[in-house]
Amino acid sequence: MGLSMSKILEATCEDGIVTALGVEVQDVEILSEGVGASSGVLILDGDKAYYVAKTSPDLKTTLEKLSDALGSISSALSAIDGAGHLIAATAGVPGPPVASGDISSLNSSKGELDDLLEELK
């Protein structure tokens, strides 16, 4: 009985379809959540094929989107706060300004995410 050698190839996956070397791979088991658009590796072991997505680019993209969202939220809160449009829930009258500490906290969280993103590069 001979030993079979496993092969590892660069691959991509989009909508659950894995492609390696420009060819769609049939009957591949996706071992990660890489069923969307991702890049990773295809492991060929005898008649079995496995796809594993690289997670760091996915994490980087997620953190970038989260950082952008925090920036947008902070800007919106600052604009609303500056215009005096916050309404108190009980009286229906303009409420006190958003605490600048709350907006500062959002900006701080965004800064921490941006620092983490730099470390991923």
Cα(27)–Cα(17) distance, integer angstroms = 10
Cα(101)–Cα(83) distance, integer angstroms = 18
Question: Are 64 and 84 spatial neighbours (Cβ–Cβ below 8 Å)?
Answer: no
Q: What is the pLDDT of residue 20?
A: 95
pLDDT tens-digit series, residues 45-58? 988 999 988 876 66
In the chain, count of helices (H) and strands (E)?
2, 6
DSSP 15: T
Strand intervals (E) in the chain: 7-14, 17-20, 23-25, 28-30, 38-45, 48-53
- Please name which of 105, 81, 106 lies closest in space to residue 94, comparing C-alpha atoms: 81
Q: What is the pLDDT of residue 115?
A: 82
Q: What is the pLDDT of residue 97?
A: 57
pLDDT (mean) for 77-83:
69
pLDDT (mean) for 90-102:
59
pTM for this prediction: 0.48
Average pLDDT over all residues of the chain: 77
Q: What is the pLDDT of residue 104?
A: 77
Kindly provide the b/e burial profile for residues 7-26, where b requires at least 16 CB atoms within 10 angstroms of the residue's own CB: eeeebbbeeeebebeeeebe
The torsion defined by the Cα of 91, 105, 103 and 58, in degrees rounded to 10, comes to -110
The domain locations on the chain are 7-53, 56-120
Q: What is the pLDDT of residue 85?
A: 54
